[in-house]
Amino acid sequence: MQKFAVPIFVGLLFGFFVVTAATGAMNLYWQSVFMFMGINIILAVSLNIINGYMGEFACGHAGFMAVGAYVSSLLSVMLFAKDKVFGEALLNPDLALVLFPVVLLVGALVAAVTGLIVAIPSFKTRGDYLAIITIAANYIVKSTIENIDAIGGARGFMGMSRVTKAMEKTVDLPWMTIWVFIGTIFTIWIVWRFISSTYGKGIIAICQDEIAAEIMSVNTNKMKIVAFMLSSGLAGLAGGLFAHVLGYVNPGSFTILKSTEVMVMVYLGGMGSLSGSVMSAILFTLLLEALRPLQIIKWVVIPLMLVLLMHMRPEGIMGNRELTDVFPRLKKFVSFKK
Amino acid sequence: MLESIIQNILNALQWGSFYSLIALGYCLVYGVLLLINFAHGDIFMVGAYIAFFVATFFLAAVGLPGWAVIALCVPLTMALTALVGVTLERVAYRPLRRKGAHRLYVVITALMCGLILENGNLALLGASRRLFPTLVETQVFNIGGIAVTNLKIAVILVAILSFVFLETVVSKTKMGMAMRAISYDKFAIPLMGIAPDKVVVFTFILGSSFAGLAGLMFAMSYPVLDPYMGALIGWKAFIAAVVGGIGSVRGAFAGGFLLGFVEIMVVAFFPSTYRDLIAFTILLVILTYKPTGLFGVARFQKI
């Protein structure tokens, strides 16, 4: 039962999204809501590695997202679409379908390397000072992008919609939905495997007590590098998907406010809880959509709810537990190795 | 060349004054509670708006002359902003402290309170920018080719006086001693007959009132107000406090002026879009080599 439950569930979900989106049973609005849900899940789960499992306070996640978004957008437009800046497409647009995951992965890798900006100072600094470094990293990435005029600077960059259109021309399926779904499942899987492995336990050890972890032969510096790079790489993946879903990126959408949003999701779900992050990302996206008619008051209501949450239930929805701890019957189907 | 350098130094002093005044508030609260009060930048914004309303009320409704308005504006703005700060502490932070919640939750609450203040202001007052009335005619003194306005001198003087005042309060008075004692050992404080809550409220009054003063000065120097003006300045003042070494008044003051200098000099010699980039890069370098800031003391962890 355990062996097949999760693949069957994921397969059913995947089938549901693809079929409803392809036949037009699900309208475009709901498609986009589900896509943003997936992107938010990736962001929340990846930040949970740092803020939840490692117990640091990082609040510059949007910076890495920006790196991934820009690198993958530039690459995909350069390779598969005709553009004012880059001229003709370098490759046949029919290849976009096959090579798109590669483009996303390159974006994620560059974002992971950018994560070193934070990882290297984190050897010595902890707590509040590390928080500042992450904020600074976010600002540095944003201002760097704003100052490169070749890719549009503060005006932003567009043309990714041509790539997604090229994909749909090759095989007529809702490709962006599929990629976001695959990316989300990939993220959850990789973080789950990482955290439940003996190797990944080093991160939880750092959270408990760094000095003791060092004494118990956890290479803390290496572990921190791994954690930060994995987290920022996945954020870059989310950024790449985000850019292609919207078809337009500009540095203004990767500010501290975006980072704050991701942080809200992590703490709403509960630190160090994968299922909590997933649930809170879903809830948060729905909340944002539900409160859309309130316009500006939305941004008063959401922080207010979080403040109330911190007062009533500071550990978040799940609070360092997984779904199987709350509903033990689920253990028949999934096992979270703790 | 020399004249332009001196001119830039004066501008940097003015710009650094704002940072210092706000950074002082960050540093006081951090020193006592070990809490990054992320809403502080927005308290500065609230202070500027309070100053705006007070000033327009006295100018338009009462019809007082400019100097009298300033004389009324300074204490009123400081008092009202302090009230906002204390209310925030009462409503948002104290219940959490009473519960003994994790530091992180208080920090998140602070961040969210900042967002509430910003967007609440936007929702209440609309997105139109307000123009701060001119209270004092700007006089320009020309000293050997260097233009100095009376406002610039006033801002720099106010910052320095505030620093001297706060330094005296923290190092010489009983209340200051209590503040330092709390940051040293918060469990022994009630045993010594000091009410910790009183000290915390006093700290918030000090920090917020100086943020209000900074808001008034800022509104007089750059008379366009908008609800998001506190966000970026707040973050940067916080960074200034950290570079100086958070928890020391001197550090906050020095850090504020340092950041002001860096920013103005970058704008003087590079395109102005590079300002944030270079300022933050310098911060990263400083923190990589001196992880506890310039004036900070390294804390050793006992095993």
Neighbours of A256 (CB within 10 A): 21
Residue B268 inside a domain? The answer is yes
As to burial, measured by CB atoms within 10 angstroms (0-12 exposed, 13-18 middle, 19+ buried), residue A23 is exposed
| Number of folded domains that form chain A | 1
Determine which of B116, B122, B292 to mutate to test the interface with A (most A C-beta atoms within 10 Å).
B116
The answer as to whether B179 is a domain residue is yes
Rounded to whole angstroms, the Cα distance separating A167 from A178 reads 12
Q: Are B112 and A311 in contact (CB under 8 A)?
A: no
Q: Which residues of B touch A139 (CB under 8 A)?
A: 276-277, 280
Q: Is residue B302 part of a domain?
A: no
B63 in a structural domain: yes
Do the chains contact at B96 and A310, CB–CB below 8 Å? yes
Does the structure show a pLDDT above 70 at A337? no
Contact (CB<8Å) B287/A57 = no
Greater confidence (A102 vs A312) lies with A102
pLDDT tens-digit map of A33-92? 999 999 999 999 999 999 989 988 888 899 999 999 999 999 988 888 777 667 677 777
Q: Is A299 among the domain residues?
A: no
Angstrom distance (rounded) from CA A262 to CA A276: 13
Measured distance CA(A272)–CA(A322) in Å, rounded? 9
Residue range(s) defining the domain that contains residue A157: 32-254
Answer whether B112 sits within 8 Å of A306, measured CB to CB.
yes
Classify residue B284: in a domain, yes or no: yes
pLDDT at B300: 63
Which residues are bridge partners to B143 per DSSP? B146
pLDDT at B292 over 80: no
- CA B50, B53, B58, B59 dihedral sign is positive
CATH of the domain at B238: 1.10.3470
Q: What is the pLDDT of residue A202?
A: 92
Chain A residues in contact with chain B using a Cβ-Cβ cutoff of 8 Å: 57, 117, 120-121, 124-125, 128-129, 131-133, 135-137, 139-140, 142-144, 146-147, 211-212, 256, 260, 263-264, 267, 296-297, 299-300, 302-304, 306-307, 310-311, 314
Q: Which two tokens stand for residue A266?
A: 């992590």
pLDDT in tens, B179-206: 888 888 878 888 988 898 999 999 999 9
Contacts B97 to A, Cβ<8 Å = none
**pLDDT score of A111:** 95
Chain A hits for B287, CB-CB cut-off 8 Å, are 121, 125, 129, 132-133, 136
Considering the domain boundaries, does residue A300 fall inside one? Answer: no
Q: Which of A181, A175, A156, A191 is nearest to A39 (CA)?
A: A181
Helix axes A175-196, A220-246, angle to 10 degrees: 170
Is there a domain that residue B141 lies in?
Answer: no
DSSP for B164-192 reads: HHHHHHHHHSHHHHHHHHHHH-TTTTGGG
Supply the pLDDT for residue A338: 52
pLDDT at A223 over 90: yes
The whole domain housing B78 covers 1-127+148-289
Asked if the structure places residue A197 within a domain, the reply is yes
The set of residues, in sequence order, having a beta carbon less than 8 Å from that of B303 and lying 6+ positions away, is: A211, A212
Domain count, chain B: 1
CA distance A300 to chain B (A): 5
Place of tokens 């959401």: A302
Which pLDDT score, from 0 to 100, does residue B242 have?
A: 82
Q: How far apart are CA B252 and CA B166, in angstroms?
A: 11
Mutate one of B183, B235, B280, B295 to test the A interface: name it (highest A CB count within 10 A): B280
pTM of the model: 0.87
A73/A95 Cα distance (integer angstroms): 16
- Exposed e or buried b per residue across A297-311, where buried means at least 16 C-beta atoms within 10 angstroms of its C-beta: bbbbebbbbbbebbb
What pLDDT is stored for residue A229 in this prediction?
95
